[in-house]
A and B are shown apart, each in its own frame.
Chain A
């Protein structure tokens, strides 16, 4: 191997090792922020009045912080229509939250049960793990917030989110991702003390507090009247735990909360595979460089042997004459 070739190889190895190194950071462990806040939603208290939707729309269309946290202002009357509620609707680019109406079999199929849908604010969010420009941040206060100034619009966050929460402004030429930010910017700016949905709920179906306290409160409610609630706090462990928690008197799958999401935090789904990247980057150049040297040497040796054989044959011919 001559000097220049060695430098070339070294350059290739360094460049690839660098790309690998950058990803190895995905494998760290994180137990969530200890004093973070969250919200507990009690499906048995919700009456489907849509006041939380109204409160959300009002604060996020008026107390505008950044262009990407601006919701179009809706007519307050439009939230009075509770007849059109169904179990299919989902959050979109014009609303961070909405209430779905279910007719669960567990409640006889005749009594409606309501569930409020919004971002779950995972302790280790799939969207943040998936985002290749770090547009999502898990704040120590508990909210998962989005920074549109770096967002490229690849929508991998939407692929990654197990609950299909992030929505996209498909109809705009400069589109952003839209999702609930737990009113984090408003609380930080002193414009609100609680998330708007919580403060506008007339039934106290939503409780704001420290996540740890909320889990205690949830289990206390479950224990108070045995048989009233399903003995499970949805969000305590799902996807490594979320800051939005649910309790319900009917099975969660019957109010649109899938129970197959698993307890593995999202980053762990990819960190193992990503960890192999530096290995490939280190192993391949050495291996391939070695193979190249061997094949080159093999060819050269075959060539030498051929030339030697020819020379010997020629010499033998000459000797005969």
Chain B
């Protein structure tokens, strides 16, 4: 891009270009000048910060739309879901690809990131399982996404081959998602003394997996709404016809899953006799806020929205659910973690850390916009109508 076109772009999108410029500066600072010390507030007591809490844990959960949508559309064969598959796969693919990209910032020696799989396998580590699953799942998603690209450039033989493997890829995707969505919760099982008892439980992996379903479906509704606003001209009439149906089905499903999840969160409280903690200060308050504001409330709103076929209520429920997932992952990995440290030892992200997270989200949005603008995401490729 030459300076003139960039300036023109910058004039049209001032916020976007500002994020881009600062993002590049922080990136250079992180990798070539200041390292982790000069870009983050991480320290020896708080080795994991917002790049893990938000970019990894929330990123992976919110990209769960890939496995939930493909499962509904291709395994359960639910009518009207076919058109939702391509946007969901694109979102999941970009989500995971950028989770890996964001990890490069966080790990100390990013060029060694393939080591756990290819050089020295620490198979007793939960992180090994996460790494292997994410690597395989990114590959699966890349293959699932590839037909969009090959259709676009006209290599339809490749698209044709990939379509034959759709079901196998879908099943692999669901298996891998189940395993690593739950493993992200499993990561914290090794630190029982560091997490507040209201969150620490051997059920963490199960809770992470179940809540990822809600995260995925809510995210499909949430971003479907945004896409509708900005990409309307690119959407086929078939996509538009199906859109509300997908929303209603997912709203119903989310309501049921959240209902189950609500009670699932009580099981370890009862089983491990943690009743006393429910009235115990700040953490109890946060736990109740999570349970009532971000589980019970969206559960109720989804049910009401589905029953009255009110898309507005459903969109509100989706937004609350997405925020709720972020709140839950922050609680587990940040707010209710390292609780034994004194207040001055606790972690808060630096400005540069936040810039990187914002930068990564911006890059995802830009890629999504570019791909859905030029490739057939919200419509069928004209030369290839019957195969998807």
Contact = CB atoms under 8 A, between A and B. Distances in A.
A280 B171 CA distance: 12
Nearest to B188: A159
A284 B128 CA distance: 21
B108 A153 contact: yes
A162 B191 contact: yes
A49 interface: no
A170 B75 CA distance: 47
B109 A269 contact: no
B180 to A, nearest CB: 10
B172 interface: yes
B193 A9 contact: no
Nearest to A262: B192
Nearest to A165: B44
Interface stretch (B31-39, B214-222, B313-321): B31-39
A311 interface: no
Contact of B205 (A88, A154, A273): A273
Interface stretch (B130-138, B225-233, B363-371): B130-138
A152 B107 contact: yes
Interface stretch (A21-29, A58-66, A184-192): A21-29
B168 A170 contact: no
Given A23-B128, A273-B186, A133 B176 contact: no
B119 A133 contact: yes
Contacts of A285: 171-172, 175
B44 A22 contact: no
A296 interface: yes
A8 B187 contact: no
Interface of A is mostly: helix
B58 interface: no
Contact of A22 (B48, B74, B123, B167): B123
Contact of A8 (B36, B122, B127, B167): B167
A131 B125 contact: yes
A257 to B, nearest CB: 12
A174 interface: yes
A261 B35 CA distance: 33
A176 B125 CA distance: 19
Nearest to A170: B37
Contacts of B116: 132-133, 152
Nearest to B130: A132
Contact of A132 (B109, B131, B345): B131
Contacts of A296: 77
A176 B345 CA distance: 22
A130 B60 CA distance: 20
B136 A19 contact: yes
B165 A8 contact: yes
B125 A280 contact: no
Contacts of A35: none
B175 to A, nearest CB: 5
A150 B169 CA distance: 32
Contacts of A135: 120, 122
Given A152-B115, A295-B77, A168 B172 contact: no
A158 B107 contact: no
A284 B76 contact: no
Interface string B185-205: 011111111100000001001
B121 A299 contact: no
A16 B172 contact: yes
Interface string A146-163: 000011111110111010
Interface in A167-199: 167-176
A83 interface: no
B340 interface: yes
Contacts of B165: 8
Given A22-B123, A159-B47, A159-B191, A172 B35 contact: yes
Contacts of A91: 44
B302 to A, nearest CB: 24
B113 A155 contact: no
Contacts of B136: 15, 19
Contacts of A74: none
B112 interface: yes
Contacts of B122: 131-135
B61 interface: no
Contact of A5 (B40, B107, B167, B345): B167
A277 B75 CA distance: 21
A270 B176 CA distance: 19
B178 interface: yes
Nearest to A271: B124
Interface stretch (A40-48, A217-225, A286-294): A286-294
B127 A175 contact: no
A126 B191 CA distance: 9
Contacts of A131: 122, 125, 127
B228 to A, nearest CB: 28
Contacts of A171: 35-38
Contacts of B179: 16, 19-20, 277, 280-281
Contact of A150 (B120, B125, B133): B120
Given A12-B169, A23-B129, A284-B178, 18 more contacts: A15-B172, A16-B175, A129-B124, A132-B122, A132-B127, A135-B120, A135-B122, A150-B115, A151-B109, A152-B109, A153-B110, A156-B127, A160-B191, A168-B42, A170-B42, A267-B124, A270-B126, A291-B75
Interface of A: 4-5, 8-9, 11-12, 15-16, 19-20, 22-23, 25-26, 88, 90-93, 126, 128-135, 150-156, 158-160, 162, 164, 166-176, 258, 260-262, 266-267, 269-274, 276-277, 280-281, 284-285, 288-289, 291-292, 295-296, 298-299
Interface of B: 31-32, 35-38, 40, 42-45, 47-48, 71, 74-77, 106-110, 112-113, 115-116, 119-129, 131-133, 136, 164-165, 167-169, 171-172, 174-176, 178-179, 182-183, 186-194, 202, 205, 340, 342, 345
18 contacts: A8-B167, A12-B168, A25-B123, A131-B122, A154-B106, A159-B48, A160-B191, A168-B36, A175-B109, A260-B193, A270-B126, A273-B186, A288-B75, A289-B167, A291-B75, A291-B76, A295-B76, A299-B77
10 shortest interchain CB distances as A-B pairs: A153-B108, A8-B168, A155-B47, A158-B47, A171-B37, A132-B128, A295-B77, A26-B124, A170-B37, A132-B125
